[in-house]
């Protein structure tokens, strides 16, 4: 079908605006707006058929003259974004299904090959108008904020892109979980068991860091993604555990990271401390989660009936480098699949001794259950320290000294 014949058929559907007419041929010829393209096609068709000129007089059967309201939509976007720090933005549009169906019907009726959807013209035109009003740039790939036009409701919703930074945390106090732990009884709603906090523990590493972070960025929340986690009753010492913090819906984006580090550490009052390495991306969260970092533990161990240092060292010689077969520990089997994992003990040495208690430094592959490596877990972990010395042994205290193999500090 010739172009002019297609234009004639489109005009025969009903009263249509230049935007919608031009958009059916949106991918033909560059450097024109759909409005200009539509007007030119209308005029060319009239000259071709030698019929009187007829300007569009609304309402357009497809868009109901939506494009007359570009300025009004841009004003709504500017109002919705006021008070939200951003350098770049993107416009999205929720198009009512009937409106989309109208133009799609024409595409398929006429077999059009290069139409542009209404949604993308709306996004672009409102985006241009917003950029004019604010001097800010539209960014299709990584906008700081996305404003979503809801055409049916006449409203603008705002999604603020999260920010991420990476660092390491140390935890100096036992009994603090890494992340928030909802109350088992009420699931977070608040009940007598949890003193109406909704939480099992008053504080977490996530909150001790996140409260200051959320405040600094005027954010809705701050979520900690750790490279593994230590037990609640273990401290995290040494260089600290790598983490990425996700700042949810920040209304401020600029922050000086060294000052933030100071503010977090002063607010955490020596219970937790962080060092910040720099800004990060969501992709780094995935990398962090998948890294098979070795972990170094300092544990204190008690062997029933006592043990001589040389006997202990002989047992550690045999554990060093050994592949340990661990059936899911009895203490966690109620919430994890019961299966056998194999993890290597990279290193195991005596670090000191006091009143019959030995301090051991153990380096294990990610996922090694260290408490069970010592106790044998009733035969579920083999070999084990208890198994090798032939009597019960247990971990009294455990600290994580180091998480290795993760990104080096820059
Ligand atoms: Zn229209
Ligand atoms: Zn509760």
pLDDT at 402: 80
pLDDT at 288 over 90: no
pLDDT at 265 over 90: yes
Smallest-distance ligand from the CA of 68:
1
Distance (angstroms) between ligand 1 centre and the Cα of 53 equals 18
Residue 231 a catalytic site member: yes
58 — pLDDT class (breaks 50, 70, 90) = confident
Measured in Å, how far apart are the chain's first and last C-alpha atoms?
A: 63
291 — pLDDT class (breaks 50, 70, 90) = low
Percent of the chain with pLDDT over 90: 78
Return the higher-pLDDT residue of 319 and 334. 319
pLDDT at 2: 86
Distance (angstroms) between ligand 1 centre and the Cα of 123 equals 15
Distance (angstroms) between ligand 1 centre and the Cα of 99 equals 10
Smallest-distance ligand from the CA of 190:
2
Q: How far is CA 82 from CA 85, 88, 90, in A?
A: 8, 13, 15
Q: Mean pLDDT throughout 376-391? A: 96
pLDDT at 407: 41
Alpha helices in 111-146 (DSSP H): 118-134
Asked if 242 contacts 407 with a C-beta cutoff of 8 angstroms, the reply is yes
Is 359 in a helix, a strand, or coil? strand
Is 220 in a helix, a strand, or coil? coil
Asked if 47 contacts 88 with a C-beta cutoff of 8 angstroms, the reply is no
pLDDT at 92: 97
pLDDT at 221 over 90: yes
Q: Mean pLDDT throughout 327-342? A: 90
Return the higher-pLDDT residue of 17 and 332. 17
pLDDT at 410 over 70: no
Reported pTM: 0.74
Rounded to whole angstroms, the Cα distance separating 358 from 380 reads 23
Q: Which of 70, 81, 63, 65 is nearest to 129 (CA)?
A: 70
pLDDT at 238: 86
pLDDT at 408: 36
Smallest-distance ligand from the CA of 23:
1
Distance (angstroms) between ligand 2 centre and the Cα of 200 equals 7
Beta strands of 112-206 (E only): which ranges? 137-138, 145-150, 155-160, 163-171
Distance (angstroms) between ligand 1 centre and the Cα of 135 equals 28
Q: Mean pLDDT throughout 256-276? A: 96
pLDDT tens-digit map of 29-55: 889 999 999 999 999 999 999 999 989
pLDDT at 292: 67
- As beta bridge partners, residue 303 has 393
pLDDT at 334: 85
Q: Mean pLDDT throughout 379-387? A: 96
Both tokens assigned to 400 = 């994580």
pLDDT at 355: 87
pLDDT at 329: 94
Return the higher-pLDDT residue of 148 and 238. 148
Distance (angstroms) between ligand 2 centre and the Cα of 105 equals 54
Rounded to whole angstroms, the Cα distance separating 370 from 234 reads 12
Q: CA-based angle 355:358:364, to the nearest 5? A: 165
**Residues within 5 A (CB) of ion ligand 2:** 183, 185-186, 191, 193-194
pLDDT at 157: 97
Both tokens assigned to 385 = 């320290």
Contacts of 49 (CB under 8 A, 6+ apart): 8
pLDDT at 228: 83
Biggest distance spanned by C-alpha atoms of the chain: 110
409 — pLDDT class (breaks 50, 70, 90) = very low
Distance (angstroms) between ligand 2 centre and the Cα of 193 equals 5
333 — pLDDT class (breaks 50, 70, 90) = confident
83 — pLDDT class (breaks 50, 70, 90) = very high
Q: Which of 4, 203, 231, 347 is catalytic?
A: 231
Rounded to whole angstroms, the Cα distance separating 171 from 272 reads 4
Per the prediction, the chain carries an average pLDDT of 92
Rounded to whole angstroms, the Cα distance separating 374 from 386 reads 6
405 — pLDDT class (breaks 50, 70, 90) = low
Q: Mean pLDDT throughout 145-164? A: 97
Smallest-distance ligand from the CA of 194:
2
Beta strands of 229-311 (E only): which ranges? 235-248, 272-280, 295-303
């Amino acid at each position: 079908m010739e172009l002019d014949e297609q234009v004639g058929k489109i005009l025969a559907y009903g009263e249509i605006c230049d935007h919608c007419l031009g958009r059916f041929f949106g991918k033909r010829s560059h450097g024109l707006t759909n409005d200009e393209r539509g007007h030119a096609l209308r005029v060319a068709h009239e000259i071709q058929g030698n019929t009187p000129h007829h300007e569009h007089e609304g309402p357009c059967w497809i868009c109901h003259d939506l494009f007359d309201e570009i300025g009004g939509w841009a004003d709504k976007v500017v109002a919705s974004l006021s008070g939200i720090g951003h350098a770049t933005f993107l416009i999205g549009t929720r198009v009512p299904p009937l409106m989309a169906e109208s133009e799609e019907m024409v595409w398929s009726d006429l077999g059009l090959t290069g139409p542009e959807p209404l949604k993308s013209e709306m996004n672009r035109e409102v985006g241009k108008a917003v950029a004019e009003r604010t001097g800010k740039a539209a960014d299709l790939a990584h906008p700081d904020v996305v404003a979503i036009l809801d055409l049916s409701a006449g409203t603008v919703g705002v999604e603020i892109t999260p920010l991420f930074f990476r660092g390491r945390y140390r935890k100096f106090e036992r009994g603090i979980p890494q992340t928030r732990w909802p109350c088992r009884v009420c699931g977070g709603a608040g009940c007598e068991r949890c003193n109406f906090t909704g939480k099992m523990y008053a504080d977490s590493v996530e909150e001790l860091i996140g409260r200051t972070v959320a405040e600094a960025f005027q954010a809705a929340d701050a979520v900690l993604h750790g490279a593994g986690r230590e037990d609640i009753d273990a401290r995290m010492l040494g260089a600290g555990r790598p983490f990425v913090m996700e700042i949810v819906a920040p209304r401020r984006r600029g922050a000086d990271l060294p000052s933030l580090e100071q503010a977090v550490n002063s607010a955490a009052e020596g219970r937790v401390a962080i060092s910040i390495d720099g800004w990060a991306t969501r992709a780094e969260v995935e990398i962090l989660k998948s890294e098979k970092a070795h972990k170094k533990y300092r544990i204190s161990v008690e062997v029933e009936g006592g043990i001589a240092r040389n006997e202990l060292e002989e047992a550690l010689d045999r554990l060093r480098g050994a592949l340990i077969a661990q059936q899911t520990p009895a203490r966690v089997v109620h919430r994890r699949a019961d299966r056998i994992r194999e993890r290597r003990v990279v290193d195991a040495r005596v670090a000191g001794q006091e009143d019959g208690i030995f301090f051991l430094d153990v380096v294990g592959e990610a996922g090694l259950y260290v408490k069970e490596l010592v106790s044998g877990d009733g035969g579920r972990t083999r070999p084990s320290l208890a198994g090798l010395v032939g009597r019960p042994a247990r971990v009294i205290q455990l600290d994580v000294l180091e998480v290795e193999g993760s990104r080096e500090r820059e």
